[in-house]
Structure formats: C-alpha cells, structure tokens
Structure 1
C-alpha cells in the first residue's frame, strides 16, 4: 500500500513539472512574436520615407559647371572631357558640346574652348618613358620611367639609367624617383690615412726641392740672360665674323661636348634637352642646331663671345682653331670684296 502511494506522488510531481514547462514555452513564444512585430513596425517606420520618395528628390540646376560670357550672354560651360562646338543662342544651356577623341585629345576641366588639348606622348626614343595611365577625354597621359631608370624631378621628360653596384652591393635599390645607392667601399683606418698623408707631404717636399734646385742650376747656366724678355704670346684681335654660313666647319671644330658647355654658360638647358631627344643618334646635326640657336641668341658678337667662353673654360686649343678659322673667313671676304 505504501509502495503505490509513493508511485502516485511521483506521478503528480512529474505532471506538475510538465505543466510548468508548457507554460514557460508558451510565454516565450508569445514574447518572440511580440518582439518580431515591434521590429517589423520599427523597420517600416524607418524605411517608409524612402518609399514615399522624400530622400530621392534632387533639385535641378541650370549650369552645374558654371558659365562664360559670349556676346553679352551667359552660356553654360562644357563639361570636362568635352569641347565647345557652338555657343548658346537663346538660353544658357542650348550651347553644343562635343567629346574629345579618346587617346588623342582631352580637356580636364569644364571649359569654353573650341578645341581639346593634345595627349602627351611617352614614346620619345631617347626619353626612356612608358605609359603609366593612358590618355582619356578627361585627363592627359601619365608617363613613368621604364624599368631600371629613374627621374627625381617633378615633371619628367627624360629618365636616367640607374647606377649599377657591382662589388660594393646595393644599399638602397633604384626606384622610379631615386637612383640606386651603393654601399660604401671599405674605409681606411686612422693609421693608413696618416701614412698616406705623410707620403703625400714627402712627395710634395721632394718636388719643391727639385724645382728650386733646377731653377738655381738654370740661373747659373744663364748668368747674362735678360729676365725682362717679353713673352712669345701675342694677343690677336678678336674678329666679328658672320658664322652662320660656316656652321658645319665650326661644329666640327667644337664637337658636341664643348658646344654643350658653351650653351650651358648661356642657360640653354632646355634647348640642349630638346635636341638630345630629337637627335638621339645624330651628334653632328645636334651640334649644328645647338650652335645655330646659340648664335641667334648671342647676336652679331657671337664669334668674339665664342672665343672668350672657350678660353675662360680652358679650351685654348679649340679657341685657337676657331680663331684661325675666323681669320681665314675674314681674309676671304676681304679679298672677294676687293
């Protein structure tokens, strides 16, 4: 009898537990449904302005890129990538615009120009450039240096080859905007530097001693020599001669290196750079063209100035040859006139 009453009690407890669980499950489902409904109402309230179009309405403007004046009338500018074909006649926005040709021309800003700007070329033979970004109607070509070349100026027309580090090794590699930096060679120690300095000083003292001794011997051998004997050097008057008919002769005497030196003294760096690009292999034509530009810039005094520049820079041999050539030309012209 006691055993059956225990079984009844356990059954009632299990029943109560089951009822309690069912109540909790039902309550949780209700809360979930209520929260879902709230979220739906919240989403609808947030997104509802989008559906009625209030955030998509855009106020239209007449000339978005600005205007320009034509015959006292305001006309709308053409957009970037376009050029003006016809001016406006009745209203600001009835002007006609036309797109620039892709890969050939461009306009990067709103404008009233009747033509587009030509695209920059990166294909100069001696410039070591290649295309980084192609030309579009909206922007010019962007060039960059070819591999193993660099340019450290803002606008690059010519890229220079990178230095090669052989035995020392590379400290900083070459980039598009900076040259390679090589490791420094092994520096000498303090003792080695001191030994070199002592050796150099010794050689200098020996050379000075030999020079003094030689001068003393020469004076003894020539006791009656006249120290006031004039120098053999004679200043030849500089001639003003028209050099243009004889450009080839003078260019052959000068050569590109010394002609470039003369032009650099007149701040003709841009002309030199352009000729190196346009005549990368023909040095003779390049020298003649630069000499012609230098003569045009210097004027009628070019022959005199050329001799002066060469002598100031230690080019006496070529100055003598130029002067001799000028003398021949001058003599020839005088004989012809006679």
Structure 2
C-alpha cells in the first residue's frame, strides 16, 4: 500500500508541476491588442488576462491601429528646409499631416519634400499650386539676342570674386534641395554629400553651408561665381540667381566706394 500511495502522490505531483509550467507559459503571452493611441506597458500577469497599457506621448508619438507592440510610432516632422509645413498636428491617434509651404509644390503621390516654384522671367501662364509648378510664358524674340551679351558682361566683371565670405549669405537664400541639386550637377559625389549630411543630421542650415563650402573648395575661386549663377539659371531658379548676384554686386560696389572715399 505504501508503494502504491507513493506512486499516486508522485503522479499527482508531476501532473501538478506540468499544469504549473503550462499555466506559467500562458502568462504574458495572451494576445490582447492595444487600442489606438496606446502601447503595451507590461505583459499580462494571469492566464487570459490583459496587458497593462500606457498612452502614447501627445504631440510626439501616435498609434493609428490596434497592435501588440510596446512602442508607439514617432510623429512625422514637417521640415521647413524641405519646403514643408504642418497641416494637421500630431495626436495620440493620428500622425502629423504635412503640406507644401507657400510658393512650394509637390507632384508626387507621397511628398517627402516640396520643390520651390519657378520664377518666370517673361510672365506667368499658370500660377504655382501645391501640386504643380508655375508655367511660364516663352521669352520674347525681341532683343533676346542682347541678353547673353549682358550676362557675359556682368559675369565677366565678377567672375573672379572670392565667394568664401558670401557662402553664409548664399546658403540663407537657397533651400537644402536647391543646394543639393546644384552641387550634384557640379560634380560633388553622393558619398561626399551623404558624409556632410550625416555629420549635421539635425542642422539643415549647417548642411547647406558645408555643402556649398566643400563645392567651392573643390572648384576653386576662379570662375566660381559664374558657375554658381549659370548653374542656378539652368535649374530655372532665375529669381534666386538674381538675388545672389545683387547681394554680391552691391557688396562689391560698397567696398569700391569705401576705398575711393579713403583714397580721397
């Protein structure tokens, strides 16, 4: 009897242990999806129980569907340097909605950046919208043959100007997309561009300065101003090219006037 009783007790003990193991394996793994705007904070502590939830951080995180994750999604940042601004603020249940700033457009299905609207030299056919660029009138044939001569004359005076002191002003006038397009078209490698961007991830203004500075160092002083202005015009950034040219030309004229006064 004692042997039989011992076997019964041992069997009950093993069955109880197996139940305990199986019960423990269920705890923490029962799937109860989190609600919108929440994340899992702690696993459930009993079989068939529910996990403890925590709200996403308002204005910084969101979750717009049921899920099993312990993390919320980060709200999208509408980068002004990429031509974007906030259309709808981020909430715990909805991501930020971005739109193009005034005078910027994007014609892609999903817009990660907006391009600046083209400025027309000879009049506008259709104004720029948030989804389409400006359509410009064609240049009049009258006097058009004089324009290259005027450009060559002006740029001939300024072709050897030292741009180093103007890099900051030029960067302020240009968007990051414009700077990146310009340096790409003028020989800067993608490796170099990525290196400069990664060194200044959170500072788009510094990215522009360093990209322009590296291009100028590679190009050299001679003919750099001409290359810059002609490059911007090829990009159809006519108003931008005019502004930069006016800034540098005005500064040079002021410096010349000051020198003349000192000599007198």
- Shorter chain as denominator, the TM-score bin is 0.3 to 0.5
Q: TM-score with structure 1 length normalisation?
A: 0.38
Q: Which has the larger radius of gyration?
A: 1
